[in-house]
Structure 1
Amino acid sequence: MPPELEHDPRREVVLDATTLKALTHPLRPRILSALRLHGPATASRLAAHLGVNTGATSYHVRQLAEAGFVVEATELGNARDRWWRAAHARTIFDTQGADQETSAAYLSAVAAGYAENAQRAIAEIATLPPEWEDAGTFSNFTLRLTPDETTELMDAITTLIRSHRSHQGSIDAPPEARPVSVNLEVFLAPGMSGE
């Protein structure tokens, strides 16, 4: 693996069979994503943000904590309010050796979260400042590639994305910098596996 693609255990978690199961419920990847994007929150704040009830959110936050995805932000809140933060900035999912049913459940939860975020972004387009109106895209490219070419494309895109992460969250980020969501989905076109 090239050095720029190696994983940093302080900032990234690589899913294994046990941790993968903890993310198969559709709400859990959404909670984790919200904590990564918006920072520490209580279960009630997460529930309001995600449009779900506080009891369910509280339960799923505790499940994420048991699996090591979130940790308590003890420096925030008081005895009544428990604040939580994401334990890692990024989750890496390696499909090698993963149980197919569990993998499918996890990927379905992730895809649902992507779709929800895209819908929310579309709903906010009219409120964007002029400099952000044309700064993003919703694009689809269909290519005819071999498995090796597909892996090469994925590695090149990942390397490019990582090259733009050097100042993410750091004090030297430009004042106009904002979180930008980049969803990468690379898969064999549905219905084409028999060709």
Structure 2
Amino acid sequence: MPVPLEPDPRRDVVLDATTLKALTHPLRPRILSALRLHGPATASRLAAHLGVNTGATSYHVRQLAEAGFVVEASELGNARDRWWRAAHARTYFDTHDADKVTSAAYLSAVAAGYAENAQRAIAEIATLPTEWEDAGTFSNYTLRLTPEETDSLMRDVISVIRGYRPHQGTVDAPETARPVSVNLEVFLAPGMSPE
């Protein structure tokens, strides 16, 4: 039986109308993703990693903090450098809980982040260690499914993913384990007629 798609309240944040608006700027999901993947950082380090200026990064980190997405990592900072960490491991979003314009803005920002990560991964292919050369995929599958079958497929895939070791909070990972990005996009193929 597939694992339900419900979030874990100890690790996950569920977007509502207010928090969703805080993530509609395209840089904010990128900042949040970087903190989740790479751990705590200063605004300057985030800016260098994301290729944007420090002032903009600092502003958007503060906005994320106001919305509860990031918290100060005070044990790492000093009076001059503020370090930030992601407050949650994952973000859950239900399109039924927000207006369509805000939903589209958020999902557009998320998709842009996915595309950027994919481009960076492709750029690094030539430098991968041998054991990682064939360990990933950039694949696309188009299926003809009902809404019920689509929901079932999504739940099955998520169940498989959850059966593996999460990136954060894992102490029993083998020495060769590295963060692996799995992006799941399931949607009705755009621009196609129902027939």
- What's the TM-score, normalizing by structure 1? 0.96
Task: Give yes or no for the alignment of 1:134 onto 2:129.
Answer: no
Structure 2: which amino acid aligns with 1:122?
I
Separation in structure 2 between the aligned mates of residue 151 and residue 73 of structure 1, nearest angstrom: 38
Question: Corresponding residue for 1:104?
Answer: 104
Would the aligned equivalents of 1:40 and 1:86 in 2 still touch at CA under 8 Å? Answer: yes
Where does residue 67 of structure 1 map in the other structure?
67
Q: Mark the runs of 5 or more structure 1 residues left unpaired by the alignment.
A: none
RMSD of aligned Cα (Å): 1.6
Matches within 5 A, 1:78-97: 78-97=78-97
Check whether the contact 1:23–1:29 (CA below 8 A) recurs between aligned residues.
yes
Show the counterpart of 2:182.
182
Q: Which runs of 4 or more aligned residues in structure 1 lie more than 4 Å from their structure 2 counterparts after TM superposition? A: 1-4
Q: By how many angstroms is 1:34 displaced?
A: 0.2
* Per-residue deviation, residues 91-123 of structure 1 (Å, max 9, x unmatched): 011112321000000000000000000000000
* 3-state SS in 1 of match to 2:85: strand
What's the CA shift string for 1:7-34, capped at 9, x where partnerless? 1112110111111100000000000000
5 Å-filtered alignment, 1:18-37, equals 18-37=18-37
Distance 1:39 1:140, change over 3 A: same
Alpha-carbon displacement from aligned partner over 1:109-139 (angstroms, at most 9, x marks no partner): 0000000000000000000000000000000
Q: Which runs of 5+ in 2 are unaligned?
A: none
CA contact (8 A) 2:42 2:83 kept: yes
Identical-pair percentage? 85
Report deviation, 1:170. 1.4
The answer to whether the 8 Å contact 1:4/1:162 transfers is no
Q: CA 1:37–1:7 in 2, change beyond 3 Å: closer, same or farther?
A: same
CA distance in 2 between counterparts of 1:131 and 1:3 reads 31
Matched positions, count: 195
**Normalising to structure 2: TM-score of the pair?**
0.96
**How far apart, in 2, do the equivalents of 1:11 and 1:191 lie?**
37
Q: Report the CA distance between 1:3 and its aligned residue.
A: 5.5
Per-residue CA deviation, residues 43-93 of structure 1 (Å, 9 max, x unaligned), is 000000000000000000000000000000000021000000000010011
Distance 1:187 1:167, change over 3 A: closer
